[in-house]
Amino acid sequence: MVTVGVLGLQGAFREHVTVLRSLGADTRRVTRPEHLDGIDGIVLPGGESSAMVRLAAAVGLFPELSARICGGLPTFGTCAGLILLADRLTDDTLSGYDRPGGLDITVARNAYGSQRESFVAPLQVHGLDREFMGTFIRAPQIVDPGSAEVLATHAGVPVLVRSGSVWGGSFHPELGPDSRIHQLFLEHVGVPV
Ligand code: GLN
């Protein structure tokens, strides 16, 4: 059985665990560098990226995660997880803290507005035959996809991208009963569940 790590410092990690297990994967909560040993992939959940970078810094997690991502570890970041994977941010609110990076994209934190401006939108996702309902909560916006491949857009703006084995989405694919995006990710990166 494959084991997918889920970054579990803070945020919506339990929901990802539920989806991954429903697809037949084993999961491991990752909070320290040694938890990265032996996993077949990792999901970085939504939550609060400013809290995640601080908690990760205390244990030196992100430089090690960055090395694993560079080494080909399949990685999927959603919402705050997308912020962690972005090679460039439009503001310096997280500067001074390590982030793993790995996606050649530029991201603007909180660009979709406040918690009250959260919304759900139907998305056409490349590789899925039916729409996926994407939940956007204080979502980051991909303002430049760089060299990443765009798999879905909302109002003309990329919301799901991938570059090799690294995927990132500005919405929350783990909320709700639809596991197709996790399945697509696992299939594409060659993690058989
Ligand atoms: N706004 C949050 C941040 O900057 C992300 C929100 C989310 O993950 N739902 O980290």
Indicate the domain borders of the chain: 3-189
Q: Is the CB of 138 under 6 A from ligand 1?
A: yes
The pTM is what? 0.97
Cα 118 from Cα 54, distance rounded (Å): 25
Which of left, alpha, beta for 110 (phi over 0: left; psi -120 to 50: alpha)?
left
Active-site residue (options: 15, 64, 79, 154): 79
Type of residue at 109: R
Which residues lie below 8 Å from residue 152, measured CB to CB, with a gap of 6+?
123, 124, 125, 126, 132, 134, 158, 159, 160, 169
In this prediction, residue 148 carries a pLDDT of 98
H helix count then E strand count, the chain = 5, 12
Name the binding residues for L-glutamine: 47-49, 109, 137-138
- Residue 1 Cα to ligand 1 midpoint, Å, equals 31
- Residue 154 Cα to ligand 1 midpoint, Å, equals 18
Residue 102 CA, chain-centre distance (Å), reads 11
Among the four given CATH numbers 3.40.50.880, 3.60.21.10, 3.30.360.10, 3.30.950.10, the one describing domain 3-189: 3.40.50.880
In this prediction, residue 192 carries a pLDDT of 78
In this prediction, residue 117 carries a pLDDT of 93
Model pLDDT for residues 34-59, shown as the tens digit of each residue: 999 999 999 999 999 999 999 999 99
> Is residue 182 annotated as part of the catalytic site, yes or no?
no
Type of residue at 78: T
> Is residue 174 annotated as part of the catalytic site, yes or no?
yes
